[in-house]
Structure 1
Amino acid sequence: MASTSPWHHLYKTKRWYRLRWHQLQVEPTCRLCRAPGTVEAANTVDHVKPHKGDEDLFFDASNLQSLCKPCHDGAKQRQERTGILPGHDVSGIPVDPNHHWNRD
């Protein structure tokens, strides 16, 4: 999230702080780290679907996931740029549900 984005002010609201706190209580470990079998504390709340300033989507609790900072700044950003979530689980299966190996 760039601090110059038109929706940056939403991250400074009491409503966001409460929603963020609740998300980290419900999901205290990084969702992306758990897929390959690693447990890492989450410290970042991420919007699964980019909100682009849509307040309904921004404050939608079902659109949130807890991530560690390295996953948020690395794997998640790469997924948003390329459409592919990098990484695999302990059995070697790609963690991206849209990967062709994970399709029926």
Structure 2
Amino acid sequence: MTRLQTLGNRVGTQASKIPVAQPGSWRNDKATSGQRGYTYAWQKASKAFILANPLCVMCDALGRVTATALVDHIQPHRGDMTLFWDRANWQPLCTYCHSSVKQREEAGRL
């Protein structure tokens, strides 16, 4: 019996760790990544884009050579599928540039 009570507490604490959209975020819905457009078709298109653009553009501008890790939307698409699939709106970025530099730019802190 004691074990079940302990497990109950663990389940309760895990529920509080579910990520919640930040206040002011455009994505306050509970749409899955597939519903937001990140489907198998996106996986194939982004992999092909990375193969054609193997270097991070932000690192390249600073004279560094860093491999591309993902495809970033230059202008956030915010659910607009036309903008989402517009290849002129794609840029190759490394994880660091996407997770730090680009996020600060979008938040207006750079």
**TM-score (structure 1 length as normaliser):** 0.70
Partner of 1:47: 73
5+ residue gaps in structure 1? 85-104
* Residue 63 of structure 2 is aligned to residue 37 of structure 1: yes
Aligned length: 82
Q: Say which SS state the counterpart of residue 76 (structure 2) adopts.
A: coil
Residues 1-104 of structure 1 mapped to structure 2, 5 A cutoff: 6=31, 8-9=33-34, 10-11=37-38, 13-82=39-108, 84=110
After superposing on structure 2, the runs of 4+ consecutive aligned residues of structure 1 that deviate more than 2 Å are 2-8
Q: Aligned-pair distance for 1:14?
A: 2.1
Q: Aligned-pair distance for 1:76?
A: 0.3
Q: CA RMSD in A?
A: 2.1
Q: Is the 8 A contact 1:19 1:61 kept in 2?
A: no
**TM-score (structure 2 length as normaliser):** 0.67
Q: Aligned-pair distance for 1:5?
A: 5.6
5+ residue gaps in structure 2? 1-20, 22-26
- If you compute each CA radius of gyration, which structure gives the higher value, 1 or 2? 2
How far apart, in 1, do the equivalents of 2:96 and 2:73 lie?
15
Percent identity among equivalent residues? 38
